[in-house]
Amino acid sequence: MPWIPIGRPADLQFTPGAAVRAGDRVVAVFPFEGGYVATDNACPHASAPLCDGAILGGRIVCSLHLWEFDLRTGACDVGPQWNVRTYPVRTSDGVLEVLVDAAPQPTDGRTDPMPNEGR
């Protein structure tokens, strides 16, 4: 699958993350350690938007029930069955691009939240 352009960093509203469409998915993009990382935006517990969580020590903390996910690996503090996917992010000519794999979408009824459609 090709790299998908998602916008210029200055145009994204990081609070602390930004929800963006990447192909058929909504991913949360976060500035992190001098670069950017991306995860699924939907918390696997209750579909809360991870982009609106808080970053603490390399983890995104879901604002709904305080579950934590490693920004590098997607590992969840509650257990591996709750991990979120992570996606490579690069900058090309000043535009962030994300590589969304062909992994199937969850079939448990969760939807990817896009809380701020204007982002």
Sign for the CA dihedral angle at 117, 42, 53, 46 comes to positive
The CATH H-level (homologous superfamily) assignment of domain 3-99 is Rieske [2Fe-2S] iron-sulphur domain (2.102.10.10)
| Domains in the chain: boundaries | 3-99
Which ranges of the chain have pLDDT less than 50? 104-105, 107-110, 116-119
Following DSSP, what letter does each residue of 20-53 receive, concatenated? EEETTEEEEEEEETTEEEEEESB-TTT--BGGGS
State the pLDDT at residue 109: 46
Q: What is the structure's pLDDT at 112?
A: 55
Q: How far apart are CA 30 and CA 88, in angstroms?
A: 12
In the sheet with 68-70, reading across from the earlier edge strand, the strands are 54-56, 59-61, 68-70
Residue 94's identity, in one-letter code, is G
Nearest to 106 by CA among 87, 82, 75: 82
Q: What is the dihedral of CA 9, 88, 75, 35, to 10 degrees?
A: -40
pLDDT at residue 114 in the model: 52
What is the pLDDT at residue 113? Answer: 55
